[in-house]
């Protein structure tokens, strides 16, 4: 079993500690599995807290800021000194809390409200798990497992770093989009299973939305695969390698203007994929009370949300690998590649996490400012705007690749990874002309839209009264 | 157009319409229920009146209302007071229809004429017990479906319990006002 | 009538406080008090005050209290506003749909005992304690946001003594 | 389960946007029959907050009823107080010996606080409309501005929501120290705040897409269904009681009346949800102008008078014991439209009949004909744009 050099090095170190050979490889794999799932699970929990902080900052108020570390401190003290009577344990806890170092840490943790993560999870864990009598028991319970399955199984294909990864399929990108569509079944099961009209409406809306937004995602992945020649995420990232200090110039985002448009298309479709505002129908509070999660209580409801946040991690990760050079650092790549495997894994992993956390942050920022679409506008947006746009970009990119000319299927080894890609050799003036043509066309479109776009614009005095100088 | 000129015009069309003036100077046109529907139709459609907006329709239980003579009441009567307003001419008028206070109390519904009347009439049906044949949805509006009695009548006795819970709190005497 | 063991759950529970689970209960209750999600059952004027308590100035979010609109995901039900006879059955069904350990805060004198409408009104229910067990009464018409947050503090005091398998204290707390 | 819909069509889902629903602004219940997303029939059920305020009115004396008017419309209770007090004063003024004369300063304070309360009421209405569309932040910014107004009212009247400040014959007590400066400071910072609010949500294409062209109400239908206030003006009817039936010191004030005009861009239709939303925002701008004019023309408090602003006047309570007999209908421009009081007095110290006609009640009557054909999310948009407050509907 070879799951990448890091797994081999862990297995080797385990073997040196006397673990039999076959066992050490399996153990290494388990350790390897724990890390991404542990990270994903905790990131989902932190994301819930982070979301409330972003909402608070946007609306000028304090987010959660009372829950702190005293709960955990109380548990540690009372479990460590369970033999002492309660009164002395309380006094002991107070003295520990007032120790010089601990006092400041506790204050900062409580001021930031970091205990909220633990408190929410704990409370949800202890709530009564209601399965309504009229609900379809199997569907109701199964929905959460299907949802979690869909998002966590797709984590396997995440290209975390060059040496440390769970798997490097040759069709990783296709695998991810295929597996996330299993989540749709989970939403429908939750919608239909809880025998509640609101969740049924929410479930059916979410299914219609996700199914129709998977097409732009698949088209974008196909375009990037065409450009970099492989469907494997590691291959795509390797194809974006660019020597020198300004290594971000190698990223797909800057390779061609059509990639710029496609990145916007992919990010919007990704928002719709994980039901985030302005497309959040599975949990639209105002219209359908709780959407799909109306009848769920306690941790089952929490699991649905963890599945949603893991979807956000997925969309962020794939977006980073397709357009932002995956785990490659923007400033110089050679010194990281030269590091020993474990250190390289850590640095690249950190860069990858930074990228998808940034994309999650933007998703949360959008959630608290934008209103929600109506379901028919969402459908029109998918079928009338995003899919044609991604098709046009695919076609134009293919045309520009043919025009650039390529020297056939070249087998390359980029930092130790076999990449067979269609290496495109555009001359300087060719890329400049493609960029220039696109910018020209877009400028013309903007001018036309401004002149003829809105036949009945809002009267000027009303606009001035409403928006004043800031308009 | 002054109120009495308007009343003159209406008098010409419908002779048995009368007008009373209260101490507060409010001029009320009394219209018998028989011809009320056509009067309402002309008030709305006739260009000289053009009352296109029904401002307010209120029920009134006249059984305890004192007449000019001291100490004696008008008698068991219910009334509906229509306040009409015309956007075109800008004048307002108050029309009232009186009905005996028993099960047969009913006034023809003016919902086809002023569409807002539907909800006003349902409220008066619920709180006063005047039926409005012609209303598109003659159900109780305010009270629960299985409520007994019409609460806004002067002689309404408060119920002591409703469905499962007992209404009076211990040590509280439930009065329904000085008139009950 | 099942013999109430106080914790509201039908588990056959012992009668005295549980020493064995004491320290675990303390930790679990810390979790519950810091993440008290309330079901916004807003009907009348107190509903607007409950909404203003949740907004930027008297921020309930910094106490960890999130407004929830589905009874399944709520811990405490804040009944804010007048409950009429027509509305009473909804209060009962929503309370029954909430997941166990649940609590009730009766906000405003209309919910406490009918408020200004208790004497001459024929349609107002005098107090929701005729329908559901109430834990905290917050007086005021409408009570100030600080009074409501004081009510939640009193409820937290009770939650800290909550034992999963022990006696549950159902005696009402009145905020002066 | 209460009365069901008569014809139980099997392929339609009957949804209860029931008494407890996050976006029905209180306890309105809509029994909707939908075919998937399209709504086929809608029957509003009200009465879940019917607190029998009119019966209580018949059992209280004239001046005792003022606190109940706060609870009729608690989002703008200052205007509700003003409507009732003007009604009773009009009743007293019908006969010379019971006429009531209100000091000019009290009249100015009344109009000032009524306009401030109109601003805070529209802030809630506009914010809740944006929140129903999923935009959570504008609502909080609106409520932050409303909190400033709550502070001003609290310093003068002592309460945040139900003020019981305007009484028959004037106002309870004079403004608190430094009130004028505080109100001017608030008005100065409100304009940029509203500009940023509108930049955030009003001109947002998603929000316009959700609101423009949805559920338009034509001019005739608005008048036939008795729509009043911003809902009527959004349909193009230029009718504002403050200008056309002036009361208080409104004749001395100069202000424009915003009227709907299909502001929703290409999809905009006259009288649609977006017009109602924009008319409310423009009314906030007008109210700011009115407040400034009133602050300029407010006379200084008369030192020697025992009660400068007409509170606790013994002569008024004496006159209220024997008011003239008969009925009177007075109308006042409330943020939610025209609030009419039909007061019938039988000469005793208690009103014989007290009918309250409110703006929300009639704007609900248009639901049954307007909603069929909309989508479920549009019904939520319609409720938000009509700015319905349930105790006004149920009284």
Is pLDDT larger for residue A228 or for residue C134? C134
Q: Is the pLDDT of residue C1 over 50?
A: no
Q: CB distance from B167 to chain D under 8 Å? A: no
Mean pLDDT of the region C84-98: 88
The Cα A181–Cα A260 span in angstroms is 25
Q: CB distance from A460 to chain D under 8 Å? A: no
SS (H, E, C) chain D: CCCCCCCCCCCCEEEEECCCCCCCCCCCEEEEEEECCEEEEEEEECCCCCCCHHHHHHCCCCHHHHHHHHHHCHHHHHHHHHHHHHHHHHHHHCCHHHCCCCCHHHHHHHHHHHHHHHHHHHHHHHHHHHHHCCCHHHHHHHHHHHHHHHHHHHHHHCCCCCCCCEECCEECCCCCCCHHHHHHHHHHHHHHHHHHHHHHHHCCHHHHHHHCCCCCCCHHHHHHCCCCCHHHHHCCCCCCHHHHCCCCCHHHCCCCCCCCCCCCHHHCCCCCHHHHHHHHHHHHHHHHHHHHHHHHHCCCCCCCCCCCCCCCCHHHHHHHHCCCCEEEEEEEEECCEEEEEEEEECCCCCEEEEEEECHHHHHHHCHHHHCCCCEHHHHHHHHHHHCCCHHHHHC
Chain D residues in contact with B23 by the CB 8 A cut-off are 94-95, 324-326, 347
The Cα D60–Cα C121 span in angstroms is 12
Chain C residues in contact with D80 by the CB 8 A cut-off are none
Measured between CA atoms, how close is D240 to chain C, in angstroms? 27
From B151, B169, B175, residue closest to C126, measured CB to CB: B169
Chain D residues in contact with C80 by the CB 8 A cut-off are none
Look at B143 and C123 and tell me if their CB atoms are within 8 Å.
yes
pLDDT of residue B177: 40
With cut-offs at 50, 70 and 90, classify the pLDDT of residue A403: confident
pLDDT of residue D282: 93
Chain C residues in contact with D27 by the CB 8 A cut-off are 43, 87
Look at C120 and D59 and tell me if their CB atoms are within 8 Å.
yes
Look at C64 and A119 and tell me if their CB atoms are within 8 Å.
yes
From D52, D141, D150, residue closest to C121, measured CB to CB: D52
Q: Is the pLDDT of residue A471 over 80?
A: no
User: What are φ and ψ of residue C78, in 5° steps?
Assistant: -95, 105
Measured between CA atoms, how close is C68 to chain A, in angstroms? 9
Pair D267, D294: CB distance under 8 Å:
no
Q: Is the pLDDT of residue D338 over 80?
A: yes
Measured between CA atoms, how close is B11 to chain D, in angstroms? 23
Measured between CA atoms, how close is D289 to chain B, in angstroms? 27
A40-44, B15-19, D267-271: which range is least confident on average? A40-44
C173-174 and D13-17 beta bridge pairing: unpaired
The token duo for D361 is: 């009640």
Give the CATH number of domain C18-174; options: 3.40.50.300, 3.40.50.410, 3.40.50.12280, 3.20.20.70: 3.40.50.12280
Measured between CA atoms, how close is D208 to chain A, in angstroms? 10
Report the percentage of chain D scoring pLDDT > 90: 44
From D135, D192, D209, residue closest to A377, measured CB to CB: D209
From A63, A78, A123, residue closest to C23, measured CB to CB: A78
Chain C residues in contact with D49 by the CB 8 A cut-off are 43-44, 81-82, 84, 87
B20-29, D190-199, D223-232: which range is least confident on average? B20-29
Residue A272 lies in a domain: yes
The Cα B153–Cα B149 span in angstroms is 9
Q: Is the pLDDT of residue D306 over 70?
A: no
The Cα C157–Cα A300 span in angstroms is 28
Look at B151 and C123 and tell me if their CB atoms are within 8 Å.
yes
- Record the pTM: 0.89
Look at D202 and A467 and tell me if their CB atoms are within 8 Å.
yes
**Which ipTM score applies to this complex?**
0.87
Same domain, A110 and A240: no
The Cα D361–Cα C94 span in angstroms is 27
The Cα B105–Cα B63 span in angstroms is 14
Between the alpha carbon of residue D327 and those of residues B65, D85, D297, D323, the distances in Å are 12, 15, 34, 11
Same domain, A98 and A155: no
Mean pLDDT of the region D26-55: 88
Between the alpha carbon of residue B157 and those of residues B28, B130, C161, D335, the distances in Å are 31, 18, 47, 37
Fold classification of D63-393 is Cytochrome-c3 Hydrogenase; chain B (1.10.645)
pLDDT digits (tens, 9 = 90+) for D61-98: 998 999 999 899 889 899 999 999 999 999 999 988 88
Contacting partners of chain C (3+ CB pairs under 8 A): A, B, D
**End-to-end CA distance of chain C, in Å?**
34
Between the alpha carbon of residue A83 and those of residues A77, A80, B87, C19, the distances in Å are 11, 8, 85, 11
User: What are φ and ψ of residue D248, in 5° steps?
Assistant: 60, -140
Domain B3-147: CATH class, spelled out: alpha beta
Pair A77, A106: CB distance under 8 Å:
no
Look at C122 and B159 and tell me if their CB atoms are within 8 Å.
yes
Mean pLDDT of the region A375-396: 92
From A56, A67, A82, residue closest to C34, measured CB to CB: A67
Using the structure block, give the residue that is written with the tokens 């409580």. A110
Give the domain ranges of chain D: 63-393
Pick from A70-74, A203-207, C7-11, C14-18 the range whose average pLDDT is largest: A203-207
Mean pLDDT of the region D301-326: 79
Instruction: Return the closest-CA partner of residue A415 out of A355, A339, A346, A343.
Output: A339
Same domain, A323 and A201: yes
Q: Is the pLDDT of residue A243 over 60?
A: yes
Mark out the alpha helices in C16-144 (DSSP H runs). Answer: 22-34, 45-54, 85-97, 109-113
pLDDT digits (tens, 9 = 90+) for B27-43: 899 999 889 999 999 99
Same domain, A114 and A148: no
User: What are φ and ψ of residue A23, in 5° steps?
Assistant: -60, -40
The token duo for D268 is: 């905009």
The Cα D356–Cα D206 span in angstroms is 39
pLDDT digits (tens, 9 = 90+) for B107-124: 999 999 999 999 999 999
Chain C residues in contact with D121 by the CB 8 A cut-off are none
Verify C-D touch: 3 or more CB pairs within 8 A.
Answer: yes
Residues 74-103 of D with CB under 8 A from B: 91, 94-95
The token duo for A256 is: 């061609």
Pair A196, A294: CB distance under 8 Å:
yes
Same domain, A112 and A153: no
DSSP annotation of A385 reads I
pLDDT of residue A282: 60
Q: CB distance from D344 to chain B under 8 Å? A: yes
Chain A residues in contact with D385 by the CB 8 A cut-off are none
Q: Which domain holds residue A206?
A: 137-426
pLDDT of residue A406: 65
Look at C56 and D143 and tell me if their CB atoms are within 8 Å.
yes
Measured between CA atoms, how close is D24 to chain C, in angstroms? 10
Measured between CA atoms, how close is C60 to chain A, in angstroms? 9
The Cα A377–Cα A266 span in angstroms is 18
From A371, A465, A467, residue closest to D134, measured CB to CB: A371
Instruction: Return the closest-CA partner of residue A242 out of A337, A143, A375, A358.
Output: A337
Q: What is the mean pLDDT of chain B?
A: 83
Q: Within 13 Å of residue C16, how many CA atoms lie on the same side as its CB?
A: 3
Q: What is the mean pLDDT of chain D?
A: 88
Q: At C78, which helix (H) or strand (E)?
A: strand C76-80
| A-D contacts at Cβ under 8 angstroms | 122
From D54, D328, D352, residue closest to B65, measured CB to CB: D352
Mean pLDDT of the region A54-76: 85
Look at D355 and B58 and tell me if their CB atoms are within 8 Å.
yes
Verify A-B touch: 3 or more CB pairs within 8 A.
Answer: no
Give the domain ranges of chain C: 18-174
Contacting partners of chain D (3+ CB pairs under 8 A): A, B, C
């Amino acid at each position: 079993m070879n799951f990448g050099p890091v797994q081999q090095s862990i297995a080797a170190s385990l073997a040196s500690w006397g673990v039999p050979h076959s066992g050490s490889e399996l153990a290494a794999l388990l350790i390897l599995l724990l890390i991404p799932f542990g990270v994903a699970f905790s990131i989902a929990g932190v994301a819930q807290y982070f979301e409330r902080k972003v909402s608070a900052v946007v609306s000028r108020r304090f987010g959660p800021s009372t829950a702190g570390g005293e709960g955990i401190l109380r548990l540690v003290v009372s479990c460590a000194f369970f033999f002492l009577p309660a009164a002395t344990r309380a006094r002991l806890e107070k003295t520990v809390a007032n120790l010089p170092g601990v006092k400041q840490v506790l204050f900062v943790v409580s001021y930031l409200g970091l205990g909220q993560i633990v408190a929410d999870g704990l409370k949800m864990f202890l709530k009564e798990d209601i399965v309504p009598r009229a609900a379809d028991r199997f569907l109701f319970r199964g929905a959460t497992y299907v949802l979690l399955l869909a998002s966590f199984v797709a984590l396997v294909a995440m290209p975390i770093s060059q040496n440390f990864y769970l798997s490097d399929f040759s069709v990783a990108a296709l695998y991810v989009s295929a597996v996330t569509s299993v989540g749709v079944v989970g939403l429908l099961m939750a919608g239909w299973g809880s025998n509640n009209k609101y969740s049924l409406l929410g479930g059916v809306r979410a299914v219609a939305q996700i199914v129709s937004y998977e097409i732009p995602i698949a088209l974008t992945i196909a375009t990037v695969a065409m450009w970099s020649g492989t469907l494997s995420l590691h291959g795509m990232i390797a194809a974006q390698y660019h020597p020198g200090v300004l290594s971000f110039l190698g990223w797909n985002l800057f390779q061609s203007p059509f990639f710029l448009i496609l990145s916007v298309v992919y990010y919007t479709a990704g928002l719709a994929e994980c039901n985030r505002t302005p497309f959040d129908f599975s949990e639209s509070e105002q219209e359908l009370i709780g959407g799909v999660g109306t009848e769920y209580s306690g941790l089952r409801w929490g699991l649905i949300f963890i599945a949603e946040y893991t979807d956000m991690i997925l969309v962020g990760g794939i977006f980073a690998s397709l357009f932002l050079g995956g785990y490659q650092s923007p400033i110089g790549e050679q010194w990281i590649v030269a590091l020993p495997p474990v250190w390289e894994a850590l640095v690249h992993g950190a860069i990858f996490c930074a990228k998808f956390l940034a994309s999650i942050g933007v998703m949360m920022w959008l959630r608290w400012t934008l209103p929600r679409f109506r379901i028919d506008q969402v459908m029109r947006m998918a079928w009338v705007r995003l899919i044609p746009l991604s098709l046009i970009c695919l076609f134009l990119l293919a045309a520009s690749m043919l025009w650039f000319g390529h020297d056939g299927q070249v087998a390359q080894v980029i930092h130790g990874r076999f990449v067979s890609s269609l290496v495109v050799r555009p001359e300087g003036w060719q890329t400049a002309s493609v960029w220039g043509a696109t910018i020209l066309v877009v400028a013309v479109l903007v001018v036309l839209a401004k002149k003829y776009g809105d036949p009945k614009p809002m009267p000027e005095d009303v606009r001035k009264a409403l928006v004043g100088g800031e308009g | 157009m002054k109120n009495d000129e308007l009343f003159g015009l209406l008098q010409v069309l419908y002779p048995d319409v009368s007008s009373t003036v209260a101490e507060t100077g409010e001029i009320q046109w009394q219209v018998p229920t028989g011809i009320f529907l056509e009067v309402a139709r002309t008030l709305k459609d006739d260009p000289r009146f053009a009352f296109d907006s029904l401002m307010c329709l209120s029920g009134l239980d006249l059984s305890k209302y004192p007449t000019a003579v001291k100490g004696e009441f008008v008698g068991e009567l219910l009334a509906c007071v229509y306040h009409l307003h015309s956007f075109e001419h800008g004048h307002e008028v108050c029309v009232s229809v009186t009905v005996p206070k028993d099960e047969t109390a009913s006034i023809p519904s003016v919902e086809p004429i002023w569409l807002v009347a539907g909800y006003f009439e349902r409220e008066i049906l619920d709180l006063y017990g005047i039926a409005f044949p012609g209303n598109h949805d003659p159900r109780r509006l305010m009270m629960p479906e299985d409520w007994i009695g019409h609460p806004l009548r002067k002689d309404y006795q408060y119920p002591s319990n409703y469905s499962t819970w007992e209404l009076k709190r211990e040590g509280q005497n439930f009065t329904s006002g000085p008139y009950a | 009538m099942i013999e109430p063991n106080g914790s509201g759950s039908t588990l056959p529970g012992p009668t005295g406080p549980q020493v064995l689970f004491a320290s675990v209960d303390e930790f679990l209750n810390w979790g519950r008090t810091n993440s008290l999600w309330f079901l916004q059952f807003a009907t009348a004027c107190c509903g607007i005050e409950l909404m203003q308590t949740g907004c930027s100035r008297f921020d309930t979010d910094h106490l960890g209290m999130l407004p929830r609109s589905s009874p399944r995901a709520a811990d405490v039900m804040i009944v804010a506003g007048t409950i009429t006879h027509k509305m009473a059955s909804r209060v009962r069904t929503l309370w029954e749909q909430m997941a166990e350990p649940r609590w009730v805060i009766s906000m405003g004198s209309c919910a406490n005992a009918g408020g200004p409408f208790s004497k001459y009104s024929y349609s107002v229910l005098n107090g929701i304690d005729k329908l559901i067990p109430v834990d905290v009464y917050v007086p005021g018409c409408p009570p100030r946001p600080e009074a409501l947050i004081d009510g939640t503090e009193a409820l937290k005091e009770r939650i800290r003594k909550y034992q999963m398998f022990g006696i549950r204290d159902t005696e009402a707390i009145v905020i002066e | 389960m209460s009365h069901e819909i008569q014809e139980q069509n099997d392929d339609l889902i009957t949804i209860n946007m029931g008494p407890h629903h996050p976006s029905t602004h209180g306890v309105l219940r809509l029994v909707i029959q939908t075919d998937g997303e399209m709504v086929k029939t809608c029957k509003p059920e009200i009465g879940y907050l019917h607190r029998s305020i009119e019966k209580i009115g018949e059992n209280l004396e004239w001046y005792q009823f003022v606190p109940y008017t706060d609870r009729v419309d608690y989002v703008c209770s200052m205007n509700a107080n003003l409507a009732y007090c003007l009604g009773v004063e009009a009743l007293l003024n019908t006969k010379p010996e019971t006429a009531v004369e209100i000091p000019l300063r009290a009249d100015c304070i009344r109009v000032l606080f009524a306009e401030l309360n109109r601003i805070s009421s529209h802030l809630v209405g506009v914010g809740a409309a944006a929140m129903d569309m999923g935009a959570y932040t504008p609502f909080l910014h609106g409520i932050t501005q409303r909190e400033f107004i709550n502070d001003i009212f609290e310093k003068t009247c002592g309460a945040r929501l139900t003020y019981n400040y305007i009484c028959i014959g004037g106002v309870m007590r004079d403004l608190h120290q430094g009130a004028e400066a505080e109100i001017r400071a608030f008005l100065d910072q409100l304009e940029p705040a509203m500009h940023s609010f509108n930049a955030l949500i009003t001109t947002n294409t998603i929000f316009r897409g959700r609101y423009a062209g949805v559920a338009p109400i034509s001019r005739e239908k608005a008048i036939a269904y008795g729509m009043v206030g911003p809902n009527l003006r959004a349909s193009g009817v230029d009718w504002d009681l403050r200008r056309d039936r002036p009361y208080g010191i409104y004749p001395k004030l100069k202000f424009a009346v915003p009227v709907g005009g299909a502001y929703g861009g290409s999809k905009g239709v006259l009288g649609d949800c977006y017009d109602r939303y924009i008319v409310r925002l423009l009314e906030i701008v007008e109210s700011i102008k009115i407040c400034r004019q009133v602050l300029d023309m407010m006379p200084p408090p008369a030192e020697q008078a025992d009660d400068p602003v007409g509170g606790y006047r013994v002569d008024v309570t004496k006159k209220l014991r024997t008011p003239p007999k008969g009925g009177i209908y007075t109308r006042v421009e409330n943020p939610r439209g025209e609030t009419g009081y039909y007061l019938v007095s039988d000469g005793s110290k208690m009103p014989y009949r007290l009918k309250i006609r409110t703006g929300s009640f009639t704007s609900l009557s248009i639901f049954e004909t307007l909603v069929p054909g909309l989508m479920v999310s549009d019904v939520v948009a319609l409720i938000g744009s009509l700015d319905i407050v349930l105790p006004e509907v149920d009284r």
